[in-house]
Amino acid sequence: MENKITIRTIREMKGRQRIAMLTAHDYPSALYAERAGAQIVLVGDSLGQVVLGYETTVPVTMEEMLHHTRAAGRGCSRALLVADMPFGSYQAGPSQAFDNACRFLKETPAHSVKLEGGVTVAETIRHLVSGGIPVMGHVGLTPQSVYQMGGYRIQGRGEEGLRALMDDARAVQDAGAYSVVLEGIPSEAARKVTEELDIPTIGIGAGPHCDGQVLVSNDLLGLYDRFIPKFVKRYALMGEEMERAFRQFVEEVTEGTFPDEEHSYE
């Protein structure tokens, strides 16, 4: 497609234009995210919580991610479609990661994968990139490690925290990632990492100094209310609007006023 956004476009945006990334887990959300101008559509494993109703992202499977990446891919032709590798699909090592990342590129329209971790997954990222698979990194608060972290804890705090974060971010870049998500870190730490790296940083709960920003669409649309982190800005309250419409339907069916003549065939 003409003007298709590639990893090259994204790399070249650093220092020139801020990158807007949105998550999408199905056809309509990808369609509207792209129409709204997002350069990257991420099929995040946040799928597990905001769509499938799991408590964490840990239970999400490859089959679930493949299914939803295909659906989102049908709504997105210009934006760069990125598929999140779910927990357990890459941690066993480069070979397992390559097999699963290949499935996204062969069986869905995704042109890139994302995976969580820094120094510990650098070898895996290097293996994928050298095999022709574009990788977006993800450091800081990595939700798949929720049990290891003992909860969703802000990362990169203090001298030691910042050093570890910087090591992770550099490792991801040096391994060949074309961009990196910075999640759940202080704004100042995100600024330092963004200045240090040559590749674009995309922040979530990482303040205003990143090269781009991402939010989980269901969060910004007000479609998920189990937990609303401080960094989430709700641009709409679609959950409430959905309930209002559903309630009206139920009432009209109960009263017998739907369907009326306008919505019936002669």
Catalytic sites, residue numbers: 183
CB of 115 to ligand KIV, least distance (A): 10
Check binding of 29 to ligand KIV (CB under 6 A): no
Using CB under 6 A as the binding criterion, the count of chain residues that bind ligand KIV stands at 10
CB of 262 to ligand KIV, least distance (A): 41
d(CA 257, CA 81): 44
Give strand ranges (E) for the chain: 19-23, 40-43, 80-84, 112-114, 135-140, 179-183, 201-204, 212-215
Nearer to ligand KIV among residue 20 and residue 258 (C-beta) = 20
86 cis-preceded (ω within 30 degrees of 0): no
CB of 118 to ligand KIV, least distance (A): 15
DSSP annotation of 37: T
53, 54, 59, 65: CA torsion to nearest 10: 20
Residue 33-52 contact track with ligand KIV, rule CB under 6 A, x = bound? ---------x-xxx------
CB of 44 to ligand KIV, least distance (A): 2
Nearer to ligand KIV among residue 44 and residue 156 (C-beta) = 44
Q: Which residue is nearest to ligand KIV (CB)?
A: 44
d(CA 141, CA 156): 9
Q: SS in 3 state form for 63-132?
A: HHHHHHHHHHHCCCCCCEEEEECCCCCCCCCHHHHHHHHHHHHHHCCCCEEECCECHHHHHHHHHHHHCC
Nearer to ligand KIV among residue 64 and residue 84 (C-beta) = 84
Nearer to ligand KIV among residue 45 and residue 168 (C-beta) = 45
Contact set for ligand KIV, span 198-217 (CB under 6 A): 204, 214, 216
Question: How far does Cα 209 stand from its chain's mean position?
Answer: 19
d(CA 7, CA 151): 32
Nearer to ligand KIV among residue 31 and residue 258 (C-beta) = 31
Q: How many CA atoms lie within 13 A of 140 on its CB side?
A: 24
Residue 7-26 contact track with ligand KIV, rule CB under 6 A, x = bound? ----------------x---
Check binding of 181 to ligand KIV (CB under 6 A): yes
Contact set for ligand KIV, span 42-101 (CB under 6 A): 42, 44-46, 84
- List residues binding ligand KIV (CB under 6 A): 23, 42, 44-46, 84, 181, 204, 214, 216
